[in-house]
Structure 1
Amino acid sequence: MTETRNLLEPAGELKFGQVGIANLRIKRLDSAGIAQELADKVHSAPQLFLRAPVVLDLSHLSSLPEQSVVRELIERIRACGMLPVGLSYGTSENEALAVSLDLPLFAKFRTAFERSGEPAVAAPAASSAPEQPVVAPAAAKREPMRSLHQDKPVRSGQQVYARDGDLIVTNLVANGAEVIADGSIHVYGPLRGRALAGAQGDSTARIYCQEFHAELVSIAGQYRVFEDLPSDLRGQPVQAWLEGEKLHLARLG
């Protein structure tokens, strides 16, 4: 009976969840320069960047590159130690490029940029045709931010993600562990792993911890990696916040 039931169950279970994928926004099409910048990052923090999955955002270029150019860029990124896994969502031309490269599109990165107040793709050129009136959509009702409470230790290799809200951890975040929140992160214990707040672009999010030993902290995509912690922050109560594009850290109290 048990064998029959096992044969009727699916062999695999597919679910969608949050994964730690970096977004690489291409500001200037310089394959050699980009590869060197990424190689430097891999060398400075291999535990974070070596074999890290990365999505390419081409929306800030003046025009979409040819397939051969993007393919060369992807190969250079692979050669420096990171793994390109797709393109960020953009125009129909961008989608066609992804199909030609046999890569997926990642829509969530577009959402992150839009929430941070930046356009996901370049605005279309002005047309001589008369503009049609634009009807603004009705404002969507925003759900209140929720909090996810994590009372158990977050062990090495584990990831806890608070979608659409804050994350409150009342225990240890170990080395090699990752805590992520669309809102702020509060760690009432040692923070030894990585903390990524404002994961969908909320630049007002903050990170608070009782004992600071972090490998990395990030808010709305701006991050700092710690090979050697500043002596005045090591083991101290610390908060992190953004001012513009600069990530600040300071002792609490």
Structure 2
Amino acid sequence: METSDACDLRFGQVGIACVRVRRPDAAALCDELERRVRSAPQLFSRAAVVLDLSHLLDLPDDGTVDALLEAVRSAGMLPVGLAYGTSETEALATRMGLPLIAKFRAAYEPEHGNVAPPATAEPSRPAPAASAPAQVAPAAPPGLGAQHHEGAVRSGQQVYARDRDLIVTGAIANGAEVIADGNIHIYGGLRGRAMAGAQGDEKARIYVSDFRAELVAIAGHYRVFEQIPKDLEGQSVQCWLDGEKLMIARL
């Protein structure tokens, strides 16, 4: 009698936001995350997040961590693990029945104003969770050129250029996501999300010929747009980091 495998198990590029806890106050954490979800529910509602406790002076006890995890759930996000840290963090994750996540795409920094004029959208710095499997290029050897994607990127799709720039000649729909470890060049309309410097390259830039984005990010610093400022809507723009400020200007 023939049997079939019950499932396939594969690892791939997955978008996970990081909630970096600055103080072990579950009520304050819930209030802050609820505000984020209200500001952009299409990005943050039921987003997968990692809880990062590495910036606390002392690792909280199990009860406090459990309260922090419940605060994340109450705010409408879904905690999926703890950020990798010390051996004590590993032991804590084991007791909590959670995995340790060693690497993720962005960081959460609510106390920093990482937004530059002229846009008016509220700044924040987690990366939203991807809704579909990524189209991942193989690791690039030194000197390999940019990855090209011709045609539209449809809602729910994600295109990721690992270790290189990404050039897109087509429209990026609402709910679609393009990611690159280097720069991103979009020769078309950007209505979805574009994230450059995904592995932390703060010198990466984003160039867009028709700017109508939901979100742009560089090295984890990002901004959400509920409404595009009139002086940027439909314009050719470039995005870059100036220190910890994400700058956007017309070309």
TM-score (norm 2): 0.82
User: Cα offset for 1:8?
Assistant: 5.5
Q: Would the alpha carbon gap of residues 63 and 14 (structure 1) be closer, same or farther in structure 2, given more than 3 Å must change? A: same
Contact 1:145-1:166 at 8 Å conserved across structures: no
Give the CA deviation at 1:143: 3.6
> Per the alignment, do residues 9 and 165 of structure 1 end up closer, same or farther by CA in structure 2, a change over 3 Å counting?
farther
Confirm or deny: 8 A CA contact 2:51 2:83 kept in the other structure.
Answer: yes
Secondary structure of the structure 2 residue equivalent to 1:165: coil
> Equivalent of 1:84, from 79, 82, 95?
79
Structure 2 matches for 1:210-221, cutoff 5 A? 210-221=209-220
Which amino acid is 1:33 matched to? Answer: A
Q: Which has the higher helix share?
A: 1
Please list, as runs of the form range in 1=range in 2, the aligned pairs for 1:150-229 lying within 5 A after superposition. Answer: 150-229=149-228
- Deviation of 1:14 after TM superposition, in Å, equals 1.6
Measured after TM superposition, the shift of residue 148 of structure 1 is 1.7
Quote the RMSD (CA, aligned, Å). 1.8
Match of 2:5 in 1: 10
Q: Which of 25, 31, 40 does residue 26 from structure 2 map onto?
A: 31
Higher relative contact order (CA 8 A, sep 6+): 2
Highest Rg: 1 or 2?
1
1:108 match: secondary structure: coil
For the Cα contact (< 8 Å) 1:196–1:218, is it kept in 2?
yes
Unaligned runs of 5+ in 2: 108-140
List gaps (5 residues or longer) in structure 1.
Answer: 114-141
Contact 1:212–1:238, Cα closer than 8 Å, also in 2: yes
Report the counterpart of residue 19 of structure 1 in structure 2.
14
Give the match for residue 244 of structure 1.
Answer: 243
**Given the superposition, is the C-alpha separation of residues 186 and 9 from structure 1 closer, same or farther in structure 2, using an over 3 Å criterion?**
farther
**Could you tell me the TM-score, scaled by structure 1's length?**
0.82
Q: Could you tell me whether the CA contact under 8 Å between 2:106 and 2:221 is conserved in 1? A: no
Deviation at 1:179, TM superposition (A): 0.8
Q: Within 5 Å, which residues of 2 pair with 1:51-90? A: 51-90=46-85
Identity of aligned pairs, percent? 62
Aligned to 2:45: 50
Give the length in aligned residue pairs.
Answer: 218
SS of equivalent residue, structure 2 residue 223 = strand
Shift of residue 147, structure 1, vs aligned partner: 2.1
Deviates more, 1:29-38 or 1:70-79: 29-38
Alignment-mate amino acid for residue 61 of structure 1 = L
What is the rounded CA distance, in whole Å, between the counterparts of 1:145 and 1:78 in structure 2? 42
